[in-house]
Amino acid sequence: MSVFESSGSSRPITAVAWASNNTTCPSQFILITQTEDGGSGNFIRGFAIKSGFYLCYSKDLSGGMVVADVKVITDKETIPHGYCYIPEFLEPKTSVGKKKRICVRMVPVGSVTTAVLDLKLTAKNKTMVQQYTCLGDMSGFVVWCLKGQFSTPAPQAKPRSVSLDMRSLSLEGAGPPLPLKPSNPPEASTKFSRRRSKLDTNSSEEAVYDSGNHSNIHGITAMDGVPFSLHPKFDSKSNTKVSVSTLNDIRIKSVQDIENEYNYTFAVEELAAKRICPSLSG
């Protein structure tokens, strides 16, 4: 299987950076410690070199950005529009050379279908990496990148526990009955609430706010203890019989009659909306 055949399922690179070693390299980054021909990936070369800097990259998609392109430019070139220099995670006494620098173009993951999938290093003028794009040489190394289509991993749903009541609502065939857990029945209440007792009693001597009972004080309203009765003028009408002639005088309106009666053009509101409010002077 070729590289491009498998690139469809590859995850894109989301960040590129410099790091001195595994200690300074962030946990989500991969440090390129070796070249394709087995040499050291340290960009600082020499005898008994204790510090240096390595190229590293990340494929963590939590930030929502991917690397769409990588370039190696010289200090005399202007950084292209939309590109930025890669960050540095280095030791205090270590610095990256500025004669040639690496810059990347970051884009949202949902805006592109192709991105940078891999980075490799080779010794200068020794090894060719098939199907990779040569970005240029830097400090005796040649930087290569692979571009192609990528696929983001589909989010997986978290498993949920199904309760007994939800299982009983299943559309599938009913299985064997599940044993019910024993529970303590609620104790029978022998006390009436203050609201019910005050509606049933006609005694005006009992206070609404009893100093000896503060448990239901938030359930007491201003209508507690007030008897319900109709106004006398309505009470007299309820005892009289309605004649048939009175019922015949009632007119049943049609839908069109109701629309004509309550038709409103909203002209006043339209005039107010078109009116320009005067500006406030400070």
Burial status of residue 242 (CB atoms within 10 A of its CB: 0-12, 13-18, 19 or more): exposed
0.75 surpassed by pTM: no
Q: pLDDT tier at 5 (50, 70, 90 boundaries)?
A: very low
CA–CA dist 133, 135 (Å, integer)? 6
The answer to the question of residue 116 being in a domain is yes
pLDDT given at position 216: 56
The answer to the question of residue 12 being in a domain is yes
The CA-atom distances, in angstroms, between 146 and each of 10, 30, 39 are 11, 16, 20
Contact 23, 53 (CB under 8 A): no
Structural domain total, the chain: 1
Query: If you average pLDDT over residues 195-210, what whole number do you get?
Result: 50
Burial status of residue 256 (CB atoms within 10 A of its CB: 0-12, 13-18, 19 or more): exposed
CA–CA dist 8, 148 (Å, integer)? 7
Alpha helices in the chain (DSSP H): 3-6, 164-168, 194-200, 232-239, 244-248, 255-261, 267-274
Q: pLDDT tier at 93 (50, 70, 90 boundaries)?
A: confident
Helix (H, G, I), strand (E, B) or coil at 104: strand
The answer to the question of residue 274 being in a domain is no
Query: If you average pLDDT over residues 254-259, what whole number do you get?
Result: 86
Contacts 24+ apart (CB under 8 A), 122-131: 122/35, 122/36, 122/37, 123/35, 123/37, 123/39, 126/37, 127/35, 127/36, 127/37, 129/36, 130/3, 131/2, 131/3, 131/4
Phi-psi region of 82 (alpha: psi -120 to 50; beta: other; left: phi over 0): left
The answer to the question of residue 265 being in a domain is no
pLDDT given at position 246: 67
Q: pLDDT tier at 37 (50, 70, 90 boundaries)?
A: confident
pLDDT given at position 67: 95
Q: Which amino acid is at 240?
A: T
Unique residue bearing structure tokens 């991105």: 115
The answer to the question of residue 124 being in a domain is yes
pLDDT given at position 83: 96
CA–CA dist 88, 96 (Å, integer)? 8
Contact 73, 98 (CB under 8 A): no
Tens of pLDDT, residue by residue over 180-189, are 555 555 555 5
Give the residue from 18, 196, 27 showing the smallest Cα distance to 90.
18
The answer to the question of residue 25 being in a domain is yes
The answer to the question of residue 211 being in a domain is no
Across the strands, what pairs with 106?
Answer: 67
Q: pLDDT tier at 124 (50, 70, 90 boundaries)?
A: confident
Q: What single string gives the DSSP state of each residue in 107-154?
A: EEGGG-SEEEEEEEEEETTT---TTPEEEEEETTEEEEEEEEE--PPP
Tens of pLDDT, residue by residue over 226-254, are 888 877 877 665 566 666 666 777 778 88
The answer to the question of residue 49 being in a domain is yes
For residue 29, the domain's CATH number is 2.100.10.50
Range of the domain at 25: 3-149
